[in-house]
Structure 1
């Protein structure tokens, strides 16, 4: 059962769309992602396409956020270039997002059916890598 959260962060969608429109050029960068940090800041990134499986925009965003001192993301969205709109995260990104941010909200859907769901709903009955980390405390 998918938990839909009523509030869709349209400002976040617009931020990702702006990056997709202005920074995605050619075949190397075709997706943009934007995420809202716990303190309200918005972090953006683009994918780095490569035939060997370059990182998706969501994965690049995790690193970009850390480089800016952001370790608590609240909501994320990915948007395709050429006005393709919101694109849901792939399976690899779903797993990484779940592991890094188990309470993360993800914007998915198309057009007027855009909605926000919990990352756990995108990857039900999943393996959670963080559950197997040893607490050094």
Structure 2
């Protein structure tokens, strides 16, 4: 199946690359896994606020589905008072590069942050898209609320 790039796709900017590097430095400094090992902390994420501040998070792997790095970074931003978020990225430890969000993260982003730009990896290289484009025909959580 060919990869369909959403209409909201944009090439990376210098600030996108800065966010990727911030996430990479965070996971490289905090991973608990050796190069050929599994660990509890193997993914890093970073989110940028509208005022330019960046916040990072790392995952906590657990067989029950522990929090993904993206969700930890979103929580860190909120805890610091950042209410308007513009960009998000996740990266793997040991230089594994940009990683696309899992289904749970995509649903949360679509529900609560549909206008945040998410940096994705693709065969042609990384780019950013609006979170609302991550799940075509997604379940609409807001429409189901009473």
Give the TM-score taking structure 1 as reference length: 0.89
**Alpha-carbon distance in structure 2 between the residues aligned to 1:116 and 1:28:** 27
User: How far off is 1:20 after superposition?
Assistant: 1.4
The 1:110–1:23 alpha-carbon spacing in structure 2 relative to 1, beyond 3 Å, is: farther
Q: Check the 8 A contact 2:12/2:126 in 1, yes or no.
A: no
**Alpha-carbon distance in structure 2 between the residues aligned to 1:15 and 1:58:** 13
The 1:77–1:35 alpha-carbon spacing in structure 2 relative to 1, beyond 3 Å, is: same
Q: Check the 8 A contact 2:110/2:134 in 1, yes or no.
A: no
Structure 2 portions without partners, runs of 5+: 34-38
Give the TM-score taking structure 2 as reference length: 0.84
**Alpha-carbon distance in structure 2 between the residues aligned to 1:37 and 1:111:** 28
Q: CA RMSD in A?
A: 1.7
User: How far off is 1:85 after superposition?
Assistant: 0.3
**Alpha-carbon distance in structure 1 between the residues aligned to 2:110 and 2:136:** 10
The 1:16–1:112 alpha-carbon spacing in structure 2 relative to 1, beyond 3 Å, is: farther
Q: Tell me which residue corresponds to 2:84.
A: 72
User: How far off is 1:132 after superposition?
Assistant: 4.2
1:107 is aligned, of 119, 123, 128, to 119
Q: Check the 8 A contact 1:85/1:111 in 2, yes or no.
A: no
User: How far off is 1:110 after superposition?
Assistant: 5.2
Q: Tell me which residue corresponds to 1:88.
A: 100
